[in-house]
Amino acid sequence: MDPLPAETPPERRFRYRRLAADLERRIRAGDFRPGDRLPSIRRLHRATGLSVSTVYRAFLELEEAGLVEAHPRSGYRVQPALWPPPPSLTHRRVKPAPQPIRLAAELSSVIAATSDPEFVPLGNTGMDAAHVPAKAFARMVREMNRFEWRSRLGYSPPEGLPELRREIALRDVGLPGGFRAEEIVVTSGCTEAIALALQAVARPGDTIAVESPTHFAVLQLLKEQGMLAAEVVVDPREGILLADLEHCLEKHPVRACFLMPHFQNPTGALMPAQKKKRLLEILSRRGIPVIVDDISAPLHFTGNRPLPLTAWDRQGLVIQCSSFSKTLAPGLRIGWVAARGERLEKIRRLKAATSICTSSLDQAIVARFLASGAYDRHLLRLRVAVGRQRLLTADLVRRHFPEGTRFALPQGGTLLWIELPQGIDGLELYRRAYARKIAIVPGAICANSPRFRNFILLSCAGPVDPRVSAAIVTLGEIARRVQDQRF
Ligand SMILES: Cc1ncc(COP(=O)(O)O)c(C=O)c1O
């Protein structure tokens, strides 16, 4: 950082440095922990008598040193990456080969526990009810007049209400290759979007390259559609291994890929821009379409929304699926799929044939919510809240789980993918937690091959209140007991 101009008296020149050094000492001593909010600039200005700009310079200094990060509207926080030590999860390489889907027996109980209010919702990765902007929703519904109610209770076009598609497309403005309203089809959640996309590009018996681990619901979809999965390993920080993917595409007749480049489920991996560019080069050489589940992209904790794959897509290979389930309300079931050319036409026909249209009333409510600006304000708050929940969850896991437990701290999304020490069976942990009415996701259901037995997935979607904290402590105790009893 540049020093202040030479004419500044020496004692003033270094005041911000003294403050920065004092804050750094406190961070290193653990007075402020990773993710903690530092006192605001105004508060420090009042407490120290230093000018606002001096305090601000001290923060800039700390930011440059990588000790703190700025969060819009909530000031400076201690850099979460200071968490000791940054763990790197073990890579489990597999040779990708097409396989029919074998669903784990636990899948249906995992799904049932997710929607059961009696369970502590550590397996529910959708938006938590505590964050639903209920007041704003209620106002929006009250404001609808009789005429609107009548018109909203009829069918809408299969591709969705024009005002909703416009609002969704508006959020792509400025993103390279962003989709236009005419390229969007509204669906019943991201799950229907993915189902339509799969049907548009592949038939029963076809092979889809998927990340391993992946979102268990996608394995379920592939199974029901009679498709095969070729699993390609994911690096928990940077996403799918491109060399393995390329090898898989060379060796096997892959019809399409299904990927989550932004805060992947379950690892939370974020694919760097250069890697996305290389991915599109690989796919473009073979003309292979890629179905992208981008549901978590708006939940980035710092910086801007990551660049979409469309930024490098010259052939219209990207089919983008998303929904408001992680950012507004999963029960609304409003999602969308965006595509180009023939695939868009096919998706439109499939949507009309399978469900005529998505609920017109729900679409109208969401469209109003987006148009009012309330959604964007809500998102700003939600990112801060979920980012904080992730840190609190990670901190509890770090303190209460057995030694040797590892996780990578994601930069966005609602998930914490945890590797338990070898020998701790995640399925056993899941069963015992289930009996105590604590819902988690066992890692074993996130892959088609028998892998990730010693992994679990915890959701950070809800507030870490005393009930949730106690549940995480209990999980740690159960994990120790499972560890002690292994043979
Ligand atoms: C990656 C991912 N895709 C899709 C879904 C399901 O989305 P929807 O509820 O919109 O169908 C989830 C659930 O949280 C998810 O984590």
Domains of the chain and CATH, by start = 10-82 (1.10.10.10), 131-374 (3.40.640.10), 380-485 (3.90.1150.10)
HEC sequence for 7-53: CCCHHHHCHHHHHHHHHHHHHHHCCCCCCCECCCHHHHHHHHCCCHH
From CA 242, how far away is CA 260, in angstroms rounded?
14
Ligand 1 contact, 335 CB (< 6 A) = yes
- Phi, psi dihedral angles at 265 (to 5 degrees): -95, 120
The conformation of residue 313, written as its DSSP 8-state character, comes to: -
Residue 72 is encoded by which pair of tokens? 């819009």
Burial class (CB in 10 A: 0-12, 13-18, 19+), 239: buried
Using CA atoms, how far residue 317 sits from 214, 270, 288, 486, in Å, is: 21, 20, 7, 48
Which atom number of ligand 1 is nearest to the Cα of residue 415? 16
Place of tokens 């965006």: 338
> 460: helix, coil or strand?
coil
Question: In 3-state terms, what secondary structure has residue 101?
Answer: coil
CA distances from 44 to 17, 66, 93, 138 (A): 14, 20, 50, 39
How many A from CA of 25 to the centre of ligand 1? 42
Q: What is the pLDDT of residue 86?
A: 43
pLDDT, position 91: 61
Q: How many CA atoms lie within 13 A of 58 on its CB side?
A: 26
Q: Output the six-digit token pair for 112.
A: 């049932």
Written as one letter, the residue type at 29 is A
Per-residue model confidence as pLDDT tens digits over 140-167: 888 888 888 888 899 999 999 999 999 9
Q: At what angle do helices 134-142 and 360-371 cross, to 10 degrees?
A: 110
CA distances from 143 to 5, 136, 378 (A): 57, 11, 19
The helix-helix angle for 360-371 and 162-170 (nearest 10°) equals 40
Atom from ligand 1 closest to the CA of residue 334? 10
User: What is the per-residue pLDDT for 317?
Assistant: 97
Predicted TM-score (pTM) of the model is 0.85
Region label for 471, one of left (φ > 0), alpha (ψ between -120 and 50) or beta (otherwise): alpha
Residues 196 and 352 sit within 8 Å (Cβ to Cβ):
no
Which atom of ligand 1 is found nearest the CA of 189?
Answer: 10
Locate tokens 């390279």: which residue? 176
262 lines ligand 1 (CB under 6 A): no
Residues of the chain with pLDDT under 70: 1-13, 81-93, 486-487
pLDDT of residue 85: 46
Q: Ligand 1 in contact with 131 (CB < 6 A)?
A: no
Q: What is the pLDDT of residue 12?
A: 52
